[in-house]
Amino acid sequence: MNVLWLQSAGCGGCTMSLLCAEDPNVLEALDAYGLDLLWHPSLSLETGAEVRRLLDRCLSGEVALDILCVEGAIARGPRGTGRYQMLAGTGRAMLDWVRDLADVARHVVAVGSCAAFGGVTSAGENPSDAVGLQFEGSHPGGALPQGFRAGGGLPVINVAGCPTHPGWVVEALLMLADGSLASRDLDSFARPRFYADTLVHHGCSRNEYYEYKASAERLSDLGCMMENLGCVGTQAVGDCNIRPWNGGGSCTRGGYPCINCTAPDFEEPNHAFTETPKFAGIPVGLPSDMPKAWFMALASLSKAATPVRISTNATADRIKIPPRSRKPRS
């Protein structure tokens, strides 16, 4: 299967993330499954006229385009022409290339939240009118219409994240190569369910503190970051803490709150990422599927039962009181 990768309006961070795929690395994984990377603007040798000929051959059907990957948002401005972002050397807007290539592709994959929903590129006043491939924020319809379906029958597959996890990209591509990714395997935002059916909260190394509502007060503290520091891992989809990055890392393991980067509109939460908005002292954002009254009752009981070890360590930058060893029963 042939894979063509375009980089649109974005920072290139998803490619940088992809290069961190391990055991095997991304190129080894693609090769093992018979996926041929036709061209990637940051990784391939071809430039200029060579690339233009390749794109034309894909459009004509001379070269089969099995998977079109797009990284970065699509700039539609000014006035829907897309000419704020031209594909260098072609004289055509990236918007036009994406639409034409999507029409002949068997599958279309949005790599990262910018390509999926507009992401950081669309934040603020958005003068370039940047959107995702098939979503504008949480609203269906973007550079491609809401009803778009690729040749294989699927909508744009949104491997969202900022940057997206390398394992998610590789797994999505391998499932497409294997023919095992179907509509039922995508959630309501067309994100693959193999990671979108999991919350970032699952597997978080701070879960003991969360259980007792023992909260961190500063970013350097060990406690749960939900109450004071803006963490929304209990609401955000992703298996980041189960499938850690670069052999063992994640945002929360690194001491930074989850900002829900796999979701549309995450880039504009209307408050600082490291602050938890509250109403009458109660965090506004509560865990998914939990009524507020239940959460408050649970939190009160948990705080009352918090062991000294946990409450002390929660507001420290290192373990001050280790777990007490117990002698085995004879």
Give 20-34 pLDDT, tens digit per residue.
887 788 889 999 999
With DSSP H G I counted as helix, E B as strand and the rest as coil, what are the percentages for the chain, rounded to 5?
A: 30, 15, 60
Q: Which two tokens stand for residue 194?
A: 């193999």
pLDDT at 165: 95
Q: Is the peptide bond before 140 cis (omega within 30 degrees of 0)?
A: no
Closest to 184 in 3D by CA, of 198, 200, 196: 196
Closest to 282 in 3D by CA, of 257, 309, 300: 300
What CATH number should be reported for the domain whose range is 2-194? Answer: 3.40.50.700
Closest to 267 in 3D by CA, of 186, 180, 160: 160
Give dist(CA 317, CA 219) in Å, integer: 9
Closest to 102 in 3D by CA, of 4, 200, 36, 209: 4
Average pLDDT over every residue of 233-259: 92
Give residue limits of the domains in the chain: 2-194, 198-318
172-181, 195-204, 319-328: the lowest-pLDDT one: 319-328
What CATH number should be reported for the domain whose range is 198-318? Answer: 4.10.480.10
pLDDT in tens, 30-58: 999 999 999 999 999 999 999 999 999 99
Query: In CATH terms, are 2-194 and 198-318 the same topology?
Result: no
pTM of the model: 0.92
96-105, 141-150, 174-183, 272-281: the lowest-pLDDT one: 272-281
Q: 67: how many CB neighbours lie within 10 A of its CB?
A: 25
Q: Which residue is it, tokens 């939240």?
A: 113
Beta bridge partners of 134: none
